[in-house]
Amino acid sequence: MITLASDFGSPYPAAMKGVVRRRSDAELVDVSHDLPRGDPRAAAFWLRFVLPEFPPAVHCAVVDPGVGTDRAAVVVRAGDHVVVAPDNGLALPPARALADDPGSEIDVFEVRVDDPASATFHGRDVFAPAAAAVHEAAGADGPPASSTTLSAVPTLSPTDEHVDLTFPEPAVTRDADGEPRTVTGEVLVVDDFGNAVTNVPGALVHGRDRASVDGDSTPVVRTFADVPPGDRLVTVGSHGYVECDVNDGHGASAFGLAPGDAVRFSFDG
Amino acid sequence: MITLASDFGSPYPAAMKGVVRRRSDAELVDVSHDLPRGDPRAAAFWLRFVLPEFPPAVHCAVVDPGVGTDRAAVVVRAGDHVVVAPDNGLALPPARALADDPGSEIDVFEVRVDDPASATFHGRDVFAPAAAAVHEAAGADGPPASSTTLSAVPTLSPTDEHVDLTFPEPAVTRDADGEPRTVTGEVLVVDDFGNAVTNVPGALVHGRDRASVDGDSTPVVRTFADVPPGDRLVTVGSHGYVECDVNDGHGASAFGLAPGDAVRFSFDG
Amino acid sequence: MITLASDFGSPYPAAMKGVVRRRSDAELVDVSHDLPRGDPRAAAFWLRFVLPEFPPAVHCAVVDPGVGTDRAAVVVRAGDHVVVAPDNGLALPPARALADDPGSEIDVFEVRVDDPASATFHGRDVFAPAAAAVHEAAGADGPPASSTTLSAVPTLSPTDEHVDLTFPEPAVTRDADGEPRTVTGEVLVVDDFGNAVTNVPGALVHGRDRASVDGDSTPVVRTFADVPPGDRLVTVGSHGYVECDVNDGHGASAFGLAPGDAVRFSFDG
């Protein structure tokens, strides 16, 4: 299986599908082609969330504001999964989530680009061919790739040099009992429902009934329907992070939050 | 085959695809992930329209404003098709359309949710696993499910209690000859072309050349191109219901209509 | 393989998928269902660009402002590919690109529509069934179709009459050395990144460092990242044509350009 993810919208991803199909009979699965435009960190957030749901696969993920520059293309092996991506760090957070065990080894390979590639569409000219080559190297029945099979792909070379990407950690102040008093986090993404998803782990609001969000007292609830339609809420999303939402509404607009914005949660008593 | 439909946009549906693929080799077909947000009735309208085009399949359909509440999850068998959905009624109109014969029996099962599921993403945690289980129970070669095979799925229990959903009937006044004089209906959905689709069956405008739509005289035509570009028209869509459209334009905007709005058609002479 | 392309948005394409799957086990690949609405020329541009990336396949492409009129439906064979489309010309530019050799023969067949079809949804009632019939006629292992296999499909008849569509040629003035001095082209499409793609072949800006675009001096660069974020640029896209873009921005808005607009490039010295 080869999954495809990008910020390309339509119809550019179709060219990637054709390129893969010329080289491989692998099942093609669209993950998303509407990832936030030009934002490798947001792509890393979403792919860390959804790719671990898949069985072993080759994941071709292209959010690439550096296309046409000399940034490398990488193939990242994590457990039985492989992520093929530009070397801007987006592959690493999902790879860590895909590794069999936390802390298990992740191998990174650089893709050699022999043929003259376009300067604006490496999804077609670099990443789709690399994903197909990795898939074919593993063979139809094996896991999609081991370090050994990847080393045998002529266009790949092991590398110790690659860009990493980590998410910012929220700043936490605590009371005398060690309980969080204030948590200053950051909005990482706004999802298609309008929910403003932060970098604040759910555990930091565990047991709270209310939180002050940038000064406005807001209920902390288990699910949307715990507040009336149109009301604001704070909840822990299925990805494990704190969201600022509105039941049957658009949380980011209501809270005035956009990706990259700081957001401060404080708790009474 | 497992078809997937939701109002999730992107990238949440990818998590459902991964969950299914871990449990089943079934072909995955995206029906739509842009169904009108939080509107089970609109989902029921669209799925009643498109699902009967498919051969026997398991259809996983999630428009679920009640996620995280105690609403049940249901598996609805209709002929050789199965619809897996939240128990908010959205499955029933398509199931009635999928049944072999009008009035033939439809079986409803409740899904037992054993594992701790998220409070906000039952598409991943409840509906996708149930769809995969139903598909696998039927076996690779049989129809996707019979009542017998479904009864053997450990997580399913037959139930007589479930939410149904029906579409409102238009109010009709008739002249002395029994011909419709006025029809007061409701806009059910606005499609991606901007066409305002009502609950008025096409037969009620049959043979008419013009209709007064909320007071404005409008041609009743066979197809868009029967009026000049930019002009309003009334036609019977491929789903069999009356639409208020504009040729090469946005009917809902031109007529000032949105889902849920009443719309009154009247006919002279 | 059957690829699907349309301007239908969602969920109408699902009905086409169901119709095909009832008639054929062919792999279904979505090319795009967000092609520019009602613009066969834009569809032709995009499909000419992406379809040649695919191995031999049947391509079902429906952008059909004339649905319900007496325009014909055509099946166009080019090399081992087949394009099934309304007879408004959209199939021809991609077919010329799909032909094995430039200038090689392209066969056109008209689809006989026997059954009463809807007046508004020929994607479901005419084009999807025709694509499935063509695919099945070719057999599972052969190329998707030869002229011989197509001639044997009962619903197809060879025709010499069909609509063609060509892209406008830019007007070029040259200096004494034969170098372009001014090039007046037209915007063909605006892509999802906001890039305004013209009909001007890249060769006409080859070797230039700057171009005056409708009077504003703009750098001509190899790729987006050659200018700072937010800056305008002219480049040659992966389709080979000149684009007016903004790095990490929306070129069409910045340049004030929309599909169909004239755009004049001039060069100093």
> Residue B53 is nearest to which of C69, C119, C124, comparing CB atoms?
C124
Contacts of A121 in chain C (CB under 8 A): 237-238
Gap between the Cα atoms of A226 and B199, Å rounded: 33
The token duo for C211 is: 């171009």
Cross-chain residue pair C191–A120, CB shorter than 8 Å? no
Q: Hey, is A61 helix, strand or coil?
A: strand
Our CA-based measurement puts residue B114 at a distance from the nearest CA of chain C, in whole angstroms, of 33
For the beta carbon of residue C161, count every other beta carbon within 10 angstroms.
9
Cross-chain residue pair B68–A223, CB shorter than 8 Å? yes
pLDDT of residue A133: 95
Instruction: Grade residue A72 by pLDDT with cuts at 50, 70 and 90.
Output: very high
Question: Is 2.40.30.90 the CATH number for B171-266?
Answer: yes
Cross-chain residue pair C53–A18, CB shorter than 8 Å? yes
Chain B, nearest residue to A34 by Cα: B10
Gap between the Cα atoms of B148 and B110, Å rounded: 15
* Helix (H), strand (E) at residue A23: helix A12-23
The radius of gyration computed from the CA coordinates of chain B, to the nearest angstrom, equals 20
Close Cβ partners of B208 (under 8 Å, ≥ 6 residues apart): B220, B267
Gap between the Cα atoms of B149 and A199, Å rounded: 44
Gap between the Cα atoms of C251 and B40, Å rounded: 39
Contacts of A14 in chain C (CB under 8 A): 3, 5, 29-32, 50, 53
Counting one residue from chain B and one from chain C, the pairs whose CB atoms sit within 8 A come to 83
Gap between the Cα atoms of C108 and C157, Å rounded: 8
Residues in chain B: 269
Cross-chain residue pair B119–A52, CB shorter than 8 Å? no
pLDDT (tens digit per residue) in C50-85 = 999 999 999 999 999 999 888 999 999 999 999 999
Instruction: Report the pLDDT averaged over residues A226-248.
Output: 96
pLDDT of residue B141: 58
Residues in chain A: 269
Q: How far is CA B133 from CA A14, A67, B21, B22, B152, in A?
A: 31, 43, 11, 11, 11
For residues C60 and C90, the answer to whether their CB atoms sit within 8 Å is no
pLDDT of residue B172: 98
Cross-chain residue pair A65–C224, CB shorter than 8 Å? yes
pLDDT of residue A139: 76
Cross-chain residue pair A223–B21, CB shorter than 8 Å? no
Which subunits sit against A, judged by 3+ Cβ pairs under 8 A?
B, C
pLDDT (tens digit per residue) in A37-50 = 999 999 999 999 99
Best to test chain A binding among B1, B17, B71 (most A CBs inside 10 Å) = B17
The token duo for C265 is: 């490039």
For B119-142, b/e burial (b = at least 16 CB within 10 A) is bbbbbbbbbbbbbbbbbbbbeeee
The token duo for B80 is: 């050789």
> Residue B224 is nearest to which of C15, C68, C118, comparing CB atoms?
C68
B10: contact with A, CB 8 A cutoff: yes
pLDDT of residue C140: 64
pLDDT of residue B142: 61
Close Cβ partners of B129 (under 8 Å, ≥ 6 residues apart): B19, B23
Could you tell me the fold of the domain covering C2-158? Answer: Rossmann fold (3.40.50)
Gap between the Cα atoms of A233 and B148, Å rounded: 44
Cross-chain residue pair A34–B65, CB shorter than 8 Å? no
> Residue B46 is nearest to which of C11, C28, C119, comparing CB atoms?
C11
Which residue is listed with tokens 């309208």?
B45
Our CA-based measurement puts residue B71 at a distance from the nearest CA of chain A, in whole angstroms, of 11
- pLDDT(C131) > 80: yes
First to last CA, chain C: 51
Angle at C115 between CA C114 and CA C120, to 5 degrees: 110
Q: Hey, is B232 helix, strand or coil?
A: strand
Q: Give the torsion sign (CA, A184, A185, A190, A196).
A: negative
Burial of C146 per CB tally in 10 Å (0-12, 13-18, 19+): middle
Which subunits sit against B, judged by 3+ Cβ pairs under 8 A?
A, C
Cross-chain residue pair A235–B119, CB shorter than 8 Å? yes
Contacts of A5 in chain B (CB under 8 A): 11, 14
C167: contact with B, CB 8 A cutoff: no
- pLDDT(C185) > 80: yes
Cross-chain residue pair A53–B124, CB shorter than 8 Å? yes
> Residue C14 is nearest to which of B50, B192, B225, comparing CB atoms?
B50
Burial of B146 per CB tally in 10 Å (0-12, 13-18, 19+): middle
> Residue A120 is nearest to which of C34, C54, C224, comparing CB atoms?
C224
Stated pTM of the model: 0.96
Instruction: Output the 3-class SS for chain C.
Output: CEEEEECCCCCHHHHHHHHHHHHCCCCEEEEECCCCCCCHHHHHHHHHHHHHHCCCCEEEEECCCCCCCCCCEEEEEECCEEEEEECCCCCHHHHHHHCCCCCCCEEEEEECCCCCCCCCCHHHHHHHHHHHHHHHHHCCCCCCCCHHHHHCCCCEEECCCCCCCCCCCCEEEECCCCCEEEEEEEEEEECCCCCEEEEEEHHHHCCCCEEEECCEEEEECCCHHHCCCCCEEEEECCCCEEEEEECCCCHHHHHCCCCCCEEEEECCC
Of A238, A250, B6, A159, nearest to C11 (Cα)? B6
Our CA-based measurement puts residue C134 at a distance from the nearest CA of chain A, in whole angstroms, of 20
Close Cβ partners of B177 (under 8 Å, ≥ 6 residues apart): none
Lowest mean per-residue pLDDT among A67-76, A112-121, B64-73, B258-267:
A112-121
Close Cβ partners of A228 (under 8 Å, ≥ 6 residues apart): A247
> Residue B120 is nearest to which of A33, A34, A223, comparing CB atoms?
A223
Phi, psi of B241 (to 5 degrees): -110, 160
Phi, psi of C215 (to 5 degrees): 105, -15
pLDDT of residue C22: 97
Paired strand residues for C37: none
Chain B, nearest residue to C14 by Cα: B31
The token duo for C188 is: 């063909």
Mean pLDDT by 10 residues, chain B (269 residues): 97 98 96 97 98 96 93 95 97 94 86 84 96 88 76 94 96 95 98 97 96 96 95 97 97 98 91
Which of B:25-84 have CB within 8 Å of A? Answer: 28, 30, 37-38, 65-69
Cross-chain residue pair A53–B125, CB shorter than 8 Å? no
For the beta carbon of residue C267, count every other beta carbon within 10 angstroms.
19
Our CA-based measurement puts residue A10 at a distance from the nearest CA of chain C, in whole angstroms, of 6
Cross-chain residue pair B238–C10, CB shorter than 8 Å? no
pLDDT of residue B68: 87
Q: Which amino acid is at C171?
A: A
pLDDT (tens digit per residue) in A136-189 = 998 765 666 788 889 999 999 999 999 999 999 999 999 999 999 999 999 999
Our CA-based measurement puts residue A13 at a distance from the nearest CA of chain B, in whole angstroms, of 15
Counting one residue from chain A and one from chain C, the pairs whose CB atoms sit within 8 A come to 82
The token duo for C206 is: 């080859």
pLDDT (tens digit per residue) in A181-211 = 999 999 999 999 999 999 999 999 999 999 9
Contacts of C224 in chain A (CB under 8 A): 65, 67-68, 120
For A174-213, b/e burial (b = at least 16 CB within 10 A) is eeeeeebbbbbbbbbbbbbbbbbbbbbbeebbeeeeebeb
Strands (E) in chain B, as ranges, are 2-6, 28-32, 58-62, 73-78, 81-86, 106-111, 156-158, 171-174, 180-190, 196-201, 210-213, 216-219, 232-236, 241-246, 262-266
pLDDT of residue B139: 76
Domain limits, chain A = 2-158, 171-266
Best to test chain C binding among A2, A6, A12 (most C CBs inside 10 Å) = A12
Gap between the Cα atoms of B163 and A203, Å rounded: 36
pLDDT (tens digit per residue) in C92-130 = 999 999 997 777 789 999 999 877 788 889 999 999 999
Between helices A12-23 and A128-138, what is the axis angle to 10°? 30
Q: Do domains C2-158 and C171-266 have the same CATH topology?
A: no
Best to test chain A binding among C45, C62, C238 (most A CBs inside 10 Å) = C238
Of C228, C204, C205, C233, nearest to C217 (Cα)? C233
> Residue B19 is nearest to which of A33, A49, A53, comparing CB atoms?
A53
Cross-chain residue pair C224–A17, CB shorter than 8 Å? no
Q: Which amino acid is at A75?
A: V
The token duo for C79 is: 């090399």
> Residue C223 is nearest to which of A21, A30, A120, comparing CB atoms?
A120
Contacts of A233 in chain B (CB under 8 A): none
Phi, psi of C63 (to 5 degrees): -125, 110
Instruction: Report the pLDDT averaged over residues C19-43.
Output: 97
pLDDT of residue A141: 58
Best to test chain A binding among C10, C53, C195 (most A CBs inside 10 Å) = C53
Cross-chain residue pair B65–A191, CB shorter than 8 Å? no
Of B162, B15, B24, B21, nearest to B83 (Cα)? B162
First to last CA, chain A: 51
Residues in chain C: 269
Chain A, nearest residue to C1 by Cα: A21
> Residue A22 is nearest to which of C31, C55, C191, comparing CB atoms?
C55
Q: Hey, is B264 helix, strand or coil?
A: strand
Contacts of C125 in chain B (CB under 8 A): 238
Of B39, B34, B32, B37, nearest to B188 (Cα)? B39
Contacts of A30 in chain B (CB under 8 A): 14, 30
The token duo for A130 is: 């690399």
* Helix (H), strand (E) at residue A265: strand A262-266
Q: Tell me, what DSSP letter sits at residue B87?
A: S
Strand A262-266 to strand A73-78: parallel, antiparallel, or no bridges (unpaired)?
Answer: unpaired
Mean per-residue pLDDT over chain A, rounded? 94
